[in-house]
Amino acid sequence: MKTLFSKIIDRELNANIIYEDESVIVIKDIHPKAPIHWLIIPKIPIPTFQDLQKEHFGYLLAMTEVIQKLAKEHSLEKGYRLVVNNGPDAGQSVFHLHIHLLAQRAHNHDF
């Protein structure tokens, strides 16, 4: 069964796309916790951070490079927060690995 993010990647569902390349898609969170709240998503369905395997590390590197690129392009280098929820006990609701990028809010205690 496809995840919500797989459906967005396959264009079965609409999303506000910030960035996309062959490995990664970045979308705006539909329930933002900060003025900038983006989700950085690999284009392969890895359910959780704990499910990452050595063969997935290229995707993790691509996600990191995209985060740094977007931070520079949007003048966020002075501060942003990255959050990964791993599993239901951590609040993960979509079981397709993703990194939350939150910015432009001095203190965010919602995560």
> Among the options 37, 98, 100, 107, which is catalytic?
98
The one-letter amino acid code at 85 reads N
98 part of the active site: yes
* 33-85 confidence digits (pLDDT tens): 999 999 999 999 999 999 999 999 999 999 999 999 999 999 998 899 999 99
Q: Which two tokens stand for residue 59?
A: 């995707």
Question: What fold does the segment set 4-103 form as a domain?
Answer: HIT family, subunit A (3.30.428)
Res. 109 pLDDT band, cuts 50 70 90: low
Domain ranges of the chain: 4-103
Q: What are phi and psi of 101, to 5 degrees?
A: -110, 120
Q: Which residues contact 108 (CB under 8 A, 6 or more apart)?
A: 33, 34, 81, 102
Q: What is the pTM of this model?
A: 0.91
Q: Is the pLDDT of residue 18 over 90?
A: yes
